[in-house]
Structures are given as structure tokens and as C-alpha cells.
Amino acid sequence: MSKRKIFTALISIGVGLWLGACQSGDDKVSQTQKDSPLAYAATSDEQSPKDKQLQEYVESTPDLHRISWKVCGDGKLSVTMNEQINKGCNETRNEPAKGFFQPAYVWGPVEEIKFVNKRHFTPSLQIVGLFVKSRGCVSLGQPGEENFYRVAEFTLEKNANLPKDARSELITKEQKKQILNATIKDADLELTSLKNFGVSSNGLIPTGPTCPTIEQWHKGF
């Protein structure tokens, strides 16, 4: 995934830094609000209170669903290095906790959740993706077309059965507001890091979309 595409994705989340320099101030506000309500919520402090704009966005977008899972046997380093805590399982926690992962959030309605596998470059392993039929991840900034979107990925032994432990939970409007606000801040941090240093805030170079469809995932993005 090119840096340009990464920048574009982050802007759609809420940063809105690449508006045309030739636009007037009013034009910028209008265009930002049209292109991305979340971006407008993030950058409209000069026009009205940020909280009011964010609340308007919360009310005008679909419900958010929290996607949680527990998949044991995941061979990723981030799982195995904390095996004494998580017992070798890739498991989510709603609140940050060492050795565990944060849930994913998708735009509803959630129609179906399923695990899908594909070949790993190592013959003894398989890659397993957790897909949710929804309108996309909140990390994409705006609701998209209904499809199966990947929210998590695991590396399992080739002969391991597909996992089954995943669930969806409809969250409240207040929780939704908090999540969207946090997403805006995260997007701002990521864009700043990529723009200034060429890497993500975790020091890595992003290599693909964070919320691909099944088709994109099978094609390797």
C-alpha cells in the first residue's frame, strides 16, 4: 500500500489536512464536511464546539458494533511473548491490558461473523482472518458498502481447525462517541508519524489496508 493511499485513508478518518490551498476558509469547512463528517468533527473547533460537531456525527452515522474474539494457538510474536498472561491465546479485552488485544469496531448492521483461511508462505502454517459482514471498520472513517471486512488475522498450524469464538456487541451512543473521538486522535498521530518519519507510530512501515474485504485479502491486497 503506497504512502499516498495510507495518507488518504487517514485523512478520511478525521484529519483533513490535505484540502486545497486555493480554497477559502468557508470553502474548506464546506468541503471537509461534505467529504468526511468525521474530519469535520475533528477540525471544526473554530466554527463551533468540537463536542457538538462530534455528537452530530454520532447521530448521523450507523450504529457501531464491538467485535471480540478468543483464538488460541496464534503464533504471532505479540501473542507468544505474553504466553504466561494470555495462555497462548489471541484474546480481546475492552480495556487495555498487557498480553491482550483491543476489540475491533465496525459500522452496523452486523449480519454475520466468520473465520476464513488461506495459505501461509510456510507450508506448516495457515493464515486465518476474522471477517464481519458489515459496512466496514470504523478505522476507515466512513461507512462503506456492505461486505465481509477483515477485523483481525491469526497465524495457526496448518491442520488446526478454524476458530469459532467471536462475537458482536452493539455499543451505546455514548460509547460510540468516545470511540470516534479516539479514532480521530489516533488518525492524527498516525498521519503525523507517516508524514514526518515515513513509518507508523509503532515504528513499522504499513504494508496493506487495515480493513480489507475478503476479495482484497485473498488477492494479497
The string of pLDDT tens digits covering residues 157-193 is 999 999 999 999 999 999 999 998 888 777 666 565 5
Assess whether the previous peptide bond of 109 is cis (omega < 30° from 0): yes
213 pLDDT above the threshold of 80: yes
DSSP string, 89-122: EEEB-SS--TT-BPPEEEES---EEEEEEEE-SS
Eight-state DSSP code of residue 43: H
- How far is Cα 217 from Cα 221, in angstroms, rounded to an integer? 6
**Mean pLDDT of the region 70-96:** 93
Please give the model's pTM, rounded to 2 decimal places.
0.72
CB 134 within 8 A of CB 109: yes
The string of pLDDT tens digits covering residues 102-131 is 999 999 999 999 999 999 999 999 999 999
- How far is Cα 14 from Cα 187, in angstroms, rounded to an integer? 7
